[in-house]
Amino acid sequence: NAGVTQTPKFQVLKTGQSMTLQCAQDMNHNSMYWYRQDPGMGLRLIYYSASEGTTDKGEVPNGYNVSRLNKREFSLRLESAAPSQTSVYFCASSERGRWEAFFGQGTRLTVV
């Protein structure tokens, strides 16, 4: 049972490049989340998906887009990466109405 799987684990991008962070969960959860965590800071919610086909902005959505491809997968896209987006990105999932979220191991992204 893999839980929440994020790919890639590490990535270095040049300013202006684009990339998609992938997240998949195998727990049949309805809700999925994307967070970013800057050094020494708490997690900040980027986007949230309550169910397949729905997405909602979180605290810091600017510069990001998301796709809830199906119930299992929730991807995060950076269209034009900026150094300010250097961060660790966490994906999470939970059952609707129950906020016991399970987190992936994170993607460490550096934009130079």
Backbone phi, psi, residue 107, to 5°: -120, 120
Quick check: 59 binds other proteins (CB under 8 A)?
yes
**Inter-residue contact 107 to 6 (CB < 8 Å):** yes
**Inter-residue contact 23 to 78 (CB < 8 Å):** no
State the nearest-atom distance from the C-beta of 29 to other proteins, in Å: 11
Residue 59 or 79 having the CB closest to other proteins: 59
Q: How many beta carbons lie within 10 A of that of residue 106, not counting itself?
A: 17
Q: If you ran DSSP here, which 8-state letter would residue 15 be given?
A: T
What is the C-alpha separation between 70 and 108, in angstroms, rounded? 24
Out of 77, 105, 110, 112, name the contact with other proteins by CB under 8 A: 105
Quick check: 106 binds other proteins (CB under 8 A)?
yes
What is the C-alpha separation between 112 and 105, in angstroms, rounded? 23
Quick check: 42 binds other proteins (CB under 8 A)?
yes
Quick check: 48 binds other proteins (CB under 8 A)?
yes
The residue range among 13-21, 62-70, 71-79, 86-94 that interacts with other proteins, by the rule CB under 8 A, is 86-94
Q: Residues interacting with other proteins, by CB under 8 A?
A: 4, 31, 33, 35, 41-45, 48, 50, 56, 58-59, 88, 90, 92, 94, 96-97, 99-106
